[in-house]
């Protein structure tokens, strides 16, 4: 019998630091560095590759309600901290117009090492995501879950899309972040690992051969964390509205519970080929919730909105069991009115292509619900 996972939740978010006058990205993290050490303020600020990006993570939370409280506190904290420097914060997966080649890299050895290894690909990685950790203590179940949830991940990417612009241009994609990150090795849809031994052998081969130092350099959309007993969901764009981030995290939690209940009955969900998952992943990045994806069980195209609703119906019992119905409601708002990417595009069009108006909109929307 597989022990019930703890289903704890942790959320990491990568934020843009903005000059409210120019609306450009502004270097920020170096103000909190003492040599190679980050000066501690109220919360731990994690530097990232680019100086205009900061990452913060919630504590381990027992419930989605606690996660909502902690993520709200986290966003308030970084917004207030930036305001002390006359700066603003944006939660969106790409900046509407700041150019990647103009951004300063954080002067820490590990980031200089990434730049040395990845070269232009690293410098171009000016993207901002949300990573959701769900507590799964049984490693075999974590691997099984990783294999199965690959099918659902494009649905969640579609809901989170917040990157329609790149270097001042409409990209035609709702998540251009997904296209940028695809250039990195060991990224994208997770490969199927049939057993824990398969996973350990993969990591062992890559580390012993000097390719990677540890499992943290496996950048798949979903992976077992290399230090913590969690499954880390990495596919999503950062959500501009905090309530939407919490809703998506709640779906991840409910899906894990649903799969555990299936396994308890010695039942599982079909594992599909990576090439098929990648087709839906592309459609989610391209169209967000406005396109169609493939229902591989029926082998037919269906509207993405319909497939998202089908997923919610599939896990409805678990949503009720977890008592998170109210936190999931923003997904219906997304399905009715669009994602952050859709809202950005509407602001752009309503302001006759004024890209700075999009940044102003994002600054305000990042504060919503706080």
Helix (H, G, I), strand (E, B) or coil at 256: helix
Q: pTM for this one?
A: 0.95
List the beta bridge partners of residue 133: 10, 232
Are residues 327 and 320 in contact, defined by beta-carbon separation less than 8 angstroms? Answer: no
Dist CA 239 CA 245 (whole Å):
5
Residue 184, pLDDT score: 86
Contact residues for 171 (Cβ-Cβ < 8 A; gap 6+): 163, 164, 165, 179
pLDDT tier, 29 (very low <50, low <70, confident <90, very high otherwise): confident
Q: In which band, very low, low, confident or very high, does the pLDDT at 129 lie, cut at 50, 70 and 90?
A: very high
**Average pLDDT in the chain:** 93
Which of 40-54, 167-181, 337-351 is the least confident region?
40-54
- With a CB cutoff of 8 Å and minimum separation 6, the contacts of 208 are none
Distances in Å between the alpha carbon of 220 and those of 172, 232, 233, 258? 24, 9, 9, 22
> What is the DSSP code string of 337-367?
H--HHHHHHHHHHHTTT-HHHHHHHHHHHHT
What mean pLDDT do residues 258-283 have? 93
pLDDT digits (tens, 9 = 90+) for 196-229: 999 999 999 999 999 888 888 889 999 999 999 9
DSSP string covering 107-155: -SHHHHHHHHHHTHHHHT----BEEEEEE---HHHHHHHHHHHTTTHHH
Distance CA(282)–CA(136), nearest Å, equals 28
Query: Which residues, 6 or more positions from 267, have their beta carbon under 8 angstroms from its beta carbon?
Result: none
Q: Which residues pair with 57 in a beta bridge?
A: 12
Summarize pLDDT for 134-191 with one digit per residue, the tens: 999 999 999 999 999 999 999 999 999 999 999 999 999 999 999 999 988 898 899 9
Question: How do residues 9-20 score in pLDDT, each as one tens digit?
Answer: 999 999 999 999
Least confident window among 34-38, 78-82, 255-259, 291-295: 34-38
pLDDT one-digit tens code per residue, 48-98: 788 899 999 999 999 999 999 999 999 999 999 899 889 999 999 999 999
- The pLDDT assigned to 95 comes to 98
CA pair distance 28, 18, nearest whole angstrom: 9
- Other Cβ atoms closer than 10 A to 160: 29
Cβ neighbours of residue 210 closer than 8 Å, sequence gap 6 or more: none
Q: Over 80: is that where the pLDDT of 350 sits?
A: yes
Q: Is the pLDDT of residue 38 over 70?
A: no
Phi, psi of 151 (to 5 degrees): -65, -35
d(C-alpha 223, C-alpha 214), whole Å:
13
* Mean predicted confidence (pLDDT) in 121-142: 95
What is the rounded distance in angstroms from the CA atom of residue 319 to the CA atom of residue 312?
Answer: 9
Tell me which residue of 331, 327, 310 sits closest to 319, measured CA to CA: 327
Which architecture does CATH list for 9-366?
A: 2-Layer Sandwich (3.30)
Q: What is the mean pLDDT of residues 261-273?
A: 89
How much is the average pLDDT of 230-247? 98
Q: Which residues pair with 224 in a beta bridge?
A: 231
Give me the mean pLDDT over the 322-329 stretch. 98
- Determine the pLDDT at residue 234: 97
Contact 196, 140 (CB under 8 A): yes
CA 115 to centroid of chain Cα atoms: 22
The average pLDDT across 296-321 equals 96
Question: Averaged over 234-252, what is the pLDDT?
Answer: 98
């Amino acid at each position: 019998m597989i022990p019930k996972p703890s289903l704890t939740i942790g959320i990491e978010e990568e934020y843009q630091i903005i000059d409210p006058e120019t609306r450009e990205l502004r270097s920020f993290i170096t103000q909190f560095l003492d040599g190679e050490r980050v000066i501690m303020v109220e919360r731990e600020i994690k530097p990232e590759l680019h100086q205009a990006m900061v990452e913060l993570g919630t504590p381990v939370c027992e419930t989605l309600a606690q996660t909502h409280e902690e993520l709200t506190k986290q966003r308030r904290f970084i917004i207030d901290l930036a305001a002390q420097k006359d700066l603003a914060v944006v939660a969106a997966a790409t900046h509407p117009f700041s150019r990647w080649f103009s951004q300063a890299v954080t002067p820490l050895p590990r980031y200089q090492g990434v730049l040395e290894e990845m070269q232009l690909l690293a410098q171009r990685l000016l993207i901002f995501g949300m990573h959701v950790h769900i507590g799964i203590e049984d490693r075999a179940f974590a691997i099984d879950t990783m294999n199965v949830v690959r099918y659902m991940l494009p649905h969640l990417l579609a809901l989170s899309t917040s990157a329609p612009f790149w270097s001042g241009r409409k990209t035609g994609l709702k998540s251009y972040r997904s296209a940028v990150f695809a250039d990195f090795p060991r990224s994208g849809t997770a490969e199927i690992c049939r057993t824990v031994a398969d996973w350990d052998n993969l990591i062992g081969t890559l580390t012993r051969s000097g390719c990677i130092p540890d499992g943290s350099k496996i950048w798949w959309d979903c992976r077992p964390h290399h230090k913590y007993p969690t499954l880390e969901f990495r596919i999503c764009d950062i959500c501009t509205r905090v309530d939407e981030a919490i809703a998506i995290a709640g779906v991840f939690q409910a899906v894990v519970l649903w799969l555990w209940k299936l396994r308890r009955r010695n039942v599982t969900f079909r594992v599909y080929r990576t090439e098929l998952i990648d087709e839906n992943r592309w459609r989610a990045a391209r169209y967000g919730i406005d396109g169609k994806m493939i229902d591989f069980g029926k082998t037919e195209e269906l509207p993405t909105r319909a497939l998202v609703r089908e997923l919610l119906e599939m896990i409805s019992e678990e949503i009720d069991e977890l008592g998170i119905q109210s936190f999931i409601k923003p997904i219906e708002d997304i399905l009715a009115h669009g994602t952050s990417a859709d809202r950005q595009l509407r602001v752009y069009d309503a302001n006759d292509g004024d890209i700075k108006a999009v940044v102003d909109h994002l600054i305000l929307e990042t504060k919503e619900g706080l």
